[in-house]
Amino acid sequence: MTRQRIGVLLGGVLLLVIAMGISRFAFTPILPFMRIDEGLSFEEGGYLASSNYIGYFVGALGAGFIYRNKKNFLLLNVFINVASILMMGLTHSFWLWLLLRFIAGATGGYIFVLTSSIIMDYLASHLLSRWSGYLFTGIGLGIAISGLIVPIIEQVFAWEGTWIWLGIISTLFFTMTLFLWRHITIHDGEKLQKTSDTKIFKGFMPWLIVAYGLEGLGYIITGTFLVDIIYNIESLRAFASFSWVIAGIAAAPAAPIWMAMISKFSTVKVLSTAYILQVIGILLPVISQTAWSVLLSAFLFGFTFVGIVSLSTAYARELFPKQSGAVVSALTTAYALGQIAGPILASSVEAYFNSFKAPLTFAGSIVTFALVILVFGKFFSNRKQPPNLT
């Protein structure tokens, strides 16, 4: 792999660090500090999270219709995304926070879909598809970065300064990407004529989309409230921020590890394993409220959700190689729909039962149902057509 191609891939990694690891998931370790200093309720935290996911839904859906000037449109969204991070630390208005989280989500949706499509197509055109898993290390790296530095910065600059410093770091990463991509020409995609061969909602694909959407609903409850839940267990409060670092460390190498497994096992078998481990991770704090259980929960969360994202996205592109933008958009849109519902449902369940165990149990049940849909869908679609080699 040449230095130039490594640079293109690294630029994509940095964009996912910004949009996913920082813009989206830094909210998780910052939320406890915002709740204490600003008097936010658990329910208001859920609304802020859902505003971000509604925006993500809009961006993911819209990205499927971008065929021209992909690179320029992507970079514009990165610029707006970074600005939204900085602005979070410059206002105390709940309504402006809702708007800024929406903007961060919408631009994040565009960034994830377009970056994934551009990089996977670029690698495939150079016969380097095996490297595609490394793109998604950006999610875990961003989570690890936010988990490590948020508590440190917050002690000195409070939660407001934390958002501003994260914006400055994101600006640095954005500048680095502009440098790495300075000589790269991204070929625009073409809108294919609709035929029976180009319809993506056929065979196993609809089952994969539904399972992925349910996964988005289930996992995001842990992703949004993990640190806050641990922080509110007094005996475990010291482990709250550290748990997010563990999640990031587990997520960083997850994609290449999971992608390597599909050389020996079918993609659906590997995906099923990831789903099972995620359910175990979600339910661990329900079964046991000890340091090892919550840290193992955080580890399994980071390791599995990035694996499921990378495996599902790569498999969808494999099924429809000429429609990478459309299939990644369809998957990410379903994922975003689940994420919109997740925090709101979790807040309602927590309020009704007055226990953090209830939303986690609910989340575990949803991911289990997603696994059933995935396995049944593969079995059902295989009966209607010749088995796929993967």
CATH of the domain at 224: 1.20.1250.20
- Cα 153 to its chain centre, rounded Å, is 24
390 belongs to a structural domain? no
φ/ψ of 23, rounded to 5, equals -55, -40
Residue 364 CA to chain centroid, in angstroms? 18
Structure tokens that stand for 323 in this block: 């429609």
Looking at residue 235, what DSSP letter applies? G
Output DSSP code: residue 190. -
Q: Concatenated DSSP letters for 23-90?
A: TTTTHHHHHHHHHHHH---HHHHHHHHHHHHHHHHHHHHHHTT--SSHHHHHHHHHHHHHHHHHHHTT
Q: What percent of the chain has pLDDT over 70?
A: 94
Please name the residue that has the structure tokens 């046991």.
288
Q: What is the pLDDT of residue 80?
A: 98
- The mean pLDDT of 254-277, rounded to a whole number, is 92
- In this predicted model, what pLDDT tens digit does every residue of 164-223 receive, in sequence order? 999 999 999 999 999 999 877 766 555 545 544 456 667 889 999 999 999 999 988 887
Give the contacts of 280 (CB within 8 A, at least 6 positions apart): 300
For residue 262, give the 3-state DSSP assignment.
coil
Q: Rounded to two decimals, what is the model's pTM?
A: 0.83
* pLDDT reported for residue 231: 79
Say yes or no to pLDDT of 239 above 50: yes
* Pick from 152, 171, 144: nearest CA to 33: 152
Cβ contacts of residue 79 below 8 Å, gap of 6+?
Answer: 174
Would 389 be classed as within a structural domain? Answer: no
Q: Is residue 211 part of a domain?
A: yes
Looking at residue 187, its pLDDT comes to: 62
C-beta neighbour count of 296 within 10 angstroms:
19
- Considering all CA atoms of the chain, what is the largest pairwise distance in Å, rounded to the nearest integer? 61
Give Cα separations from 388 to 127, 272, 317 (angstroms): 21, 16, 14
Between CA 237 and CA 56 the distance in angstroms is 31
The answer to which of 65-74, 150-159, 163-172 has the lowest mean pLDDT is 65-74
Q: What is the percentage of the chain residues whose pLDDT exceeds 90? A: 43
Cα-based distances in Å from 245 to 49, 144, 146, 225 = 20, 5, 8, 14
Residue range of the domain that includes 8: 3-384
389 pLDDT band, cuts 50/70/90, is: very low
Note whether residue 163 is domain-resident. yes
Q: How confident is the model at residue 272 (pLDDT cuts 50, 70, 90)?
A: very high
pLDDT for position 133: 83
**43 Cα distance to chain centroid:** 22
Residues 94, 44 contacting (CB under 8 angstroms): yes
Q: What is the DSSP letter of 40?
A: -
Look at the chain and report how many structural domains it folds into. Answer: 1
Mean pLDDT of 11-29: 91
388 pLDDT above the threshold of 70: no
**Tens of pLDDT along 100-151?**
999 999 999 999 999 988 998 888 888 887 888 889 889 888 888 887 888 8
pLDDT at 390: 47
Query: Is the Cα torsion angle 350, 352, 357, 358 positive or negative in sign?
Result: negative
Q: Which stretch of 58-67, 79-88, 219-228 has the lowest confidence by average pLDDT?
A: 219-228
Q: Mean pLDDT across the chain, nearest whole number?
A: 87
Interval 320-340 mean pLDDT: 84
Q: State yes or no: pLDDT of 322 exceeds 50.
A: yes
Which class for 114: exposed (0-12), middle (13-18), buried (19 or more C-beta within 10 A)? buried
In the prediction, which pLDDT does 190 show?
54
CB contact at 8 A, 71 and 122: no
**How many Cβ atoms are within 10 Å of 73's Cβ, its own excluded?**
14
386 pLDDT band, cuts 50/70/90, is low
Q: How far apart are CA 25 and CA 248, in angstroms?
A: 10
> Span 235-255, mean pLDDT?
85
Q: Is residue 28 part of a domain?
A: yes
